[in-house]
Amino acid sequence: MTDKRKHKPTPDGPGDLSNPSAQALDVDLDIFFDAARSAQPEPSPELMARVLDDALAMQPPAQPLAARPAPSVPTRSWLGTLLDTLGGWPAAASLATATLAGVWIGISPPDAVSAVTAQLGLAAEAAIALPDGEELITTYLDEG
Amino acid sequence: MPLDRMDHLSDDALLAAYAAGDQAAARTLTLRLTPRVFAHAMRLLGDRAEAEDVTQDALMRLWKVAPNWQAGTAKPSTWLFTVTANLCTDRLRRKGRQGVDIDAIPEPEDDAPRAEHVLQEQARIAALESALQSLPDGQRQAVVLRHIEGLGNPEIAEIMDISVRAVESLTARGKRALAAALAEKREALGYDHDG
Nearest to A18 by CA among A7, A28, A5: A7
Please state the domain count of chain A.
2
Q: Are residues B166 and B87 in the same domain?
A: no
What is the residue-averaged pLDDT of chain B?
84
**Subunit contact A51:B27, Cβ cutoff 8 A:** no
Q: Are residues B67 and B120 in the same domain?
A: no
Helical ranges in chain B per DSSP H: 11-19, 23-45, 48-65, 76-95, 113-133, 137-143, 153-160, 164-183, 186-189, 191-194
CATH number of the domain bearing residue B14: 1.10.1740.10
pLDDT of the residue at B3: 55
Domain boundary among B62, B95, B128: B95
**Among B63, B64, B191, whose Cβ lies nearest the Cβ of A28?**
B191
Task: Give a yes or no: residue A72 inside a domain.
Answer: no
Q: Are residues B109 and B90 in the same domain?
A: no
Q: Long-range contacts of range B48-51, CB-CB < 8 Å, 24 or more positions apart?
A: B48/A41, B50/B91, B51/A41
Put simply, the chain B residues between 104 and 133 with a CB less than 8 A from any chain A CB are: 121-122, 124-125, 127-129
pLDDT at B43 over 60: yes
Confidence of residue B184 (pLDDT cuts 50, 70, 90): confident
Q: Are B167 and B142 in contact (CB under 8 A)?
A: yes
Task: Give a yes or no: residue A56 inside a domain.
Answer: no
Q: Using the 8-state DSSP alphabet, how is residue B145 labeled?
A: I
**Residue contacts between A and B (CB atoms, under 8 Å):** 134
Q: Are B184 and B177 in contact (CB under 8 A)?
A: no
B contact test, residue of A5, A6, A21, A27 with most B CBs within 10 A: A27
Confidence of residue B54 (pLDDT cuts 50, 70, 90): very high
Q: Which residues contact B2 (CB under 8 A, 6 or more apart)?
A: B24
Query: How many of the other CB atoms lie within 10 Å of CB of A92?
Result: 15
Name the least confident of A49-63, B88-102, B122-136, B170-184: B88-102
Nearest to B154 by CA among A84, B162, A128: B162
pLDDT at B157 over 80: yes
Q: Which residue has the higher pLDDT, B142 or B105?
A: B142
Q: Are residues B187 and B128 in the same domain?
A: yes
**Subunit contact A47:B180, Cβ cutoff 8 A:** no
Nearest to B63 by CA among A46, A49, A54: A54
pLDDT at B146 over 90: yes
A contact test, residue of B184, B191, B192, B193 with most A CBs within 10 A: B191
Q: Are residues B114 and B152 in the same domain?
A: yes
Q: Are residues B132 and B187 in the same domain?
A: yes
Task: Give a yes or no: residue A74 inside a domain.
Answer: no
pLDDT at A55 over 60: yes
Mean of pLDDT values over A105-123: 64
Full domain range(s) for residue B163: 102-194
Task: Give a yes or no: residue A35 inside a domain.
Answer: yes
Q: Are residues B10 and B35 in the same domain?
A: yes
**Subunit contact B27:A52, Cβ cutoff 8 A:** yes
Q: Are residues B113 and B167 in the same domain?
A: yes
Instruction: Give the chain B residue whose CA is nearest to the CA of A22.
Output: B180
Please state the domain count of chain B.
2
Q: Are B43 and B148 in contact (CB under 8 A)?
A: yes
B18 at A interface, C-beta within 8 A: yes
Task: Give a yes or no: residue A116 inside a domain.
Answer: yes
pLDDT tens-digit readout, B113-136: 566 666 777 788 888 888 998 899
Q: Which residue has the higher pLDDT, A135 or B122?
A: B122
Q: Are residues B116 and B40 in the same domain?
A: no
Task: Give a yes or no: residue A84 inside a domain.
Answer: no
Task: Give a yes or no: residue A23 inside a domain.
Answer: yes
Q: Which residue has the higher pLDDT, A138 or A14?
A: A138
Mean of pLDDT values over B28-49: 92
Domain boundary among B40, B69, B95: B95
Domain boundary among B75, B95, B115: B95
φ, ψ dihedrals at B163, nearest 5°: -80, 160
Q: Are residues B69 and B117 in the same domain?
A: no
d(CA B142, CA B170): 6
A69: which chain B residues are within 8 Å (Cβ-Cβ)?
Answer: none
Name the least confident of B11-15, B49-53, B91-95: B91-95
B175: which chain A residues are within 8 Å (Cβ-Cβ)?
Answer: 3, 5, 29
Partners of residue B13 on adjacent β-strands:
none
3-state SS string for chain A = CCCCCCCCCECCECCCCCCHHHHHHCCCCHHHHHHHHHCCCCCCHHHHHHHHHHHHHHCCCCCCHHHCCCCCCCCCCHHHHHHHHHCCHHHHHHHHHHHHHHHHHHHCCCHHHHHHHHHCCCCCCCCCCCCCHHHHHHHHHHHC
**Subunit contact A27:B182, Cβ cutoff 8 A:** yes
Full domain range(s) for residue A13: 1-45
Mean of pLDDT values over A18-32: 62
d(CA A38, CA A36): 5
What is the residue-averaged pLDDT of chain A?
65
Task: Give a yes or no: residue A63 inside a domain.
Answer: no
d(CA A55, CA B29): 9
A20: which chain B residues are within 8 Å (Cβ-Cβ)?
Answer: 180, 183
Q: Are residues B179 and B131 in the same domain?
A: yes
**Subunit contact B20:A28, Cβ cutoff 8 A:** no
pLDDT tens-digit readout, A69-93: 554 444 556 666 666 666 666 676 7
CATH number of the domain bearing residue B168: 1.10.10.10
Q: Are B87 and B54 in contact (CB under 8 A)?
A: yes
Q: Are residues B77 and B107 in the same domain?
A: no
